[in-house]
Structure 1
Amino acid sequence: MTAARLPGLARTRPPRRVPVRLVLCLLPPVLVAVVAVRHRSVLAEGVRRLGTAEWPWLAAAAGTTCLTWVAAACTRQGAVVERLPRRRLLAAQFAAGAANHLLPTGLGASAVNLRFMTVCGLPLARSSAALALYLLAEGAGRLVLLVALLAAFPGALRLGVLLPEGSLGPLAPAAGALLLAAAAALALVRRLRTAALSFLRTALGEARAVHTRPARALALWGGALAFPALQAAGLVLVGRALGLPVPAAHTALAYLAATVAVALVPTPGGLGSVEAALVPALVAVGGPAAVATAVVLAYRIITVWLPLLPGALTLGVLVRLKVI
């Protein structure tokens, strides 16, 4: 006689497990709420500053922010030979922006795009190589624009104002120690050295394949230059909305220099570190401190906080639909 037929013996059902995908769908909005509570004073002050701005300029800044996702999608497409689904690629960049503000700088967006490319059928090794190519192109584009503006306006900005006094002293030994540790690991661990060489060969092959196609190379480097240029243009427009008495080129220079400086500080999306670098950068190019603070707060509301919840919800939907 089976256990189910024994008198008085109730059937027991196995406990229901919460699907992992459901947890991943709900996690981004929860993280948004946590981050918003932690930065509630900044949010409140930024919203108050927006109330005193000229709305046509703010609308233009919001439109420019939307174009940054298009530029990111172009750069991502340019990093791979295969054609990626355009709408899903653009949605993934919008979601990746939210993920980037919830995790240490670069990790959120990189994880989302790595998963997106593997779901699209690219092997993990090639997806990783494409991701590395994108990061290289984006960093190079930002540095090219910064160097060009520094050459055009050599006396507009003192780079020393972007980092606290004495901060370069600890950074240099720390960077040297990391490089030495990485070199020692590669020299001593054969498996790690083999994996690194294999990845390097894959990355070089992917870069060669991309640059044999003019359309892909144009998308890669055009998007890499357009992305930071659009970000800087957004700050210029917010400055106009709040009456910042600084030339547009100097404002763009301050933005590019500040974002390069905060790349040394691995905070989620640069939260906190971007504001700390941007305000003195705008002051260094001639902006009054009060107005510069207002501009930075309003700019971060438009570029970070307003898209954050929709981006997190988009991320959850993409996870639910198995796009990422």
Structure 2
Amino acid sequence: MTSTLDSSLSRPERRRGHPWLRRCLIAAVLGLITVELALGRPALTSALTQLRAPHLGWLLAALAAALAAMGAYARMQRRLLLSAGLYVPLHRELALTYAAHSLNETLPGGPLFSTQLNYQQMRRFGATPAVASWCIALSGILSTSALAVITALGALADHGTPSWLTLVGLTTAVLLTTVGIRWITRHPETLLPLVRTSLAPINRLRRKSADHGLERIQAFLDQLKAARLTPGHAAAAATYALLNWLLDAGCLWLCLHSVTDQAITSTQLLLAFCAGMAAGTLTIVPGGLGIIDNALILGLISGGLDTPTAIAAVVLYRLINLGFVIGAGWITWGLVLRQTRREQPQRISTG
């Protein structure tokens, strides 16, 4: 028995999935980037020449905008926790935001690691499993909705004549989502019939009783009653979600001004930014390397910039976001979050 146990412990764990597929995809993307660099060598050389002496004032302003964007995202999540009656010091939420962003952008499968870190740290802040899950999910919904709103408004401004059907549809979707979330957190028991119906066939396959696990799910849903998204906190969180994207786009605009005096309208730059961020959600490459960059460059070129200038602005923008901000996040994770012990939560009354 002992030898069997020892041999089972000595065997390496069986890897799941197909890691070779991910490696092949990453290698293909890197190969594509290499080919693009070789073909675009003249434009890249000109762009690097422009990067040698960026305007210091504009560069510092771009750095400040990037930091302000991270601060806005941290304040959004903090507002959601406040709405659930949990007070978290701003510096703790900022540290979590930087660390989670770095994991998300630099590791293969980064969103999974980022979500896990967010969940663990929110539990350390004192959030229940349901409140932590609710806050993470709602953060993603707010951030995605804010980008969609900015993209829609940019498109409307660019075309001059607004598409009222698109605007009304987007507004209705946001309002219905907000109302639905508030209803679920106030009346989580309404989900029990749906949960029971969905759980029965799963338990049948597992050869368990029909209600197996229902008590744990019910306890989880009961915890959601603490997550009261009040109108004030909802409005503040939505505002911070919008500011997060707008300040990030402002960082790109300031990077552009630090390397050139060429003109581009704010609407065209905003659309290029939104296209780049949207493209980044469709890639498994860490940081959207090559995907976001190409989308941003093409967007700026379509806005009237020449290729070297667009490349220079995007390279500088990515150096700030993939260099400084992510570097600060890894330092935060290593020196702050890993050393943090569990603290007593500070709860406030939600009314």
After TM superposition, is the score higher than 0.5?
A: yes
User: In 2, distance between residues paired with 1:256 and 1:199?
Assistant: 40
Q: How does 1:201-280 map to 2 (within 5 A)?
A: 209-212=228-231, 214=232, 216-243=233-260, 244-280=262-298
- Residue 154 of structure 2: which of 149, 156, 167 is its match? 149
State the AA in 2 paired with 1:189.
I
What's the CA shift string for 1:217-268, capped at 9, x where partnerless? 2331111110001110100111111114312231122101221132122332
**Sequence identity (%):** 25
Check whether the contact 1:234–1:299 (CA below 8 A) recurs between aligned residues.
Answer: yes
User: In 2, distance between residues paired with 1:203 and 1:288?
Assistant: 55
User: In 2, distance between residues paired with 1:224 and 1:130?
Assistant: 13
User: In 2, distance between residues paired with 1:195 and 1:146?
Assistant: 43
User: In 2, distance between residues paired with 1:278 and 1:105?
Assistant: 22
Displacement of 1:201 in angstroms is 5.2
State the AA in 1 paired with 2:88.
L
User: In 1, distance between residues paired with 2:148 and 2:278?
Assistant: 8
State the AA in 2 paired with 1:152.
A
What's the CA shift string for 1:250-302, capped at 9, x where partnerless? 11221012211321223323222211211111112222122111111111001
- Residue 89 of structure 1: which of 90, 93, 97 is its match? 93
What's the CA shift string for 1:38-80, capped at 9, x where partnerless? 9xx99x9898653232111111000001101210111101222
What's the CA shift string for 1:180-233, capped at 9, x where partnerless? xxxxx98953589979986995797566x1225x1x223311111100011101
- Residue 122 of structure 2: which of 117, 122, 134 is its match? 117
User: In 1, distance between residues paired with 2:286 and 2:341?
Assistant: 24
Secondary structure of the residue aligned to 2:77 is helix
| Uncovered stretches (5+) of structure 1, i.e. residues with no partner | 1-37, 156-184
Check whether the contact 1:133–1:203 (CA below 8 A) recurs between aligned residues.
Answer: no
User: In 2, distance between residues paired with 1:230 and 1:220?
Assistant: 15
User: In 1, distance between residues paired with 2:255 and 2:71?
Assistant: 20
User: In 1, distance between residues paired with 2:201 and 2:75?
Assistant: 40
User: In 1, distance between residues paired with 2:123 and 2:219?
Assistant: 16
User: In 1, distance between residues paired with 2:329 and 2:152?
Assistant: 32
Query: Could you list the runs of 4 or more consecutive aligned residues of structure 1 that deviate by over 6 angstroms after TM superposition?
Result: 44-48, 191-200
Matched with 1:189 is 202
RMSD: 3.5
User: In 1, distance between residues paired with 2:62 and 2:150?
Assistant: 20
TM-score by length of 1: 0.68
